[in-house]
Amino acid sequence: MLQTYAPILILAVLVAGFALASLVLSDLLGKKRRSIGKADAYESGMDPRGSARLRLSIHFYLVAVLFILFDVESIFLIPWAATVRGLSAQGLGPVMFFEVLAFVGVLALGLAYVWRKGGLEWDR
C-alpha cells in the first residue's frame, strides 16, 4: 500500500520543501528598501481621500450574494441543456422538462420574494 502512494508522498514533500525554501531564501536574500512611498495606500493611481474605515450599507453585500446565488443556480441549467436531447430519445423528455420547469419556478419565486422585500433596490 505504501509503495503505491510513495511517489505522491515524495512529490508532496518536494513541493512543500521548495515552497518553504523559496520563502526563506527570498526573505534572507531579498533587498529591504523602506521608503515613505511604499507605506502609502495606492489604488488606481489616485491619492486616497477620507478614511479607509468607511461604513457601507449591508445592501451592497446582499445584492452581491443574491447575484452569486442566482448565477450559480442558473449554471445548473447547462448540464440539463446538454443532456436533454439524449433523454428525449429515451422517452424522458417531458419528465425532464417539467423538472426544469419546477426548478426555474423555484428560482422565480425566490426572485419575486427578494423583489417584494426590496432586496433589489439601490437607493435604500
What is the identity of the amino acid at 41? Answer: A
What is the identity of the amino acid at 78? Answer: I
Angle at which helix 77-89 crosses helix 93-116, to 10 degrees, equals 160
Tell me the domain boundaries of the chain: 58-116
Q: What is the pTM of this model?
A: 0.49
Q: How does 57-70 read in b/e, with b if 16+ C-beta sit within 10 Å? A: eeeeeebeeeeeee
Sequential pLDDT tens for the chain (124 residues): 778 899 999 999 999 999 999 999 998 998 777 777 666 666 676 776 777 677 777 777 888 888 888 888 888 888 888 888 777 777 777 888 888 899 889 989 988 988 888 877 766 6
Q: Which helix (H) or strand (E) holds 104?
A: helix 93-116
Residue 23, pLDDT score: 95
d(CA 35, CA 49): 21
Q: Which helix (H) or strand (E) holds 72?
A: helix 58-75
Residue 20, pLDDT score: 97
- The rounded mean pLDDT for the chain is 83
Residue 59, pLDDT score: 78
Q: Report how far apart, in Å, the C-alpha atoms of 91 and of each of 15, 63, 81, 86, 120 are.
A: 51, 40, 16, 9, 41
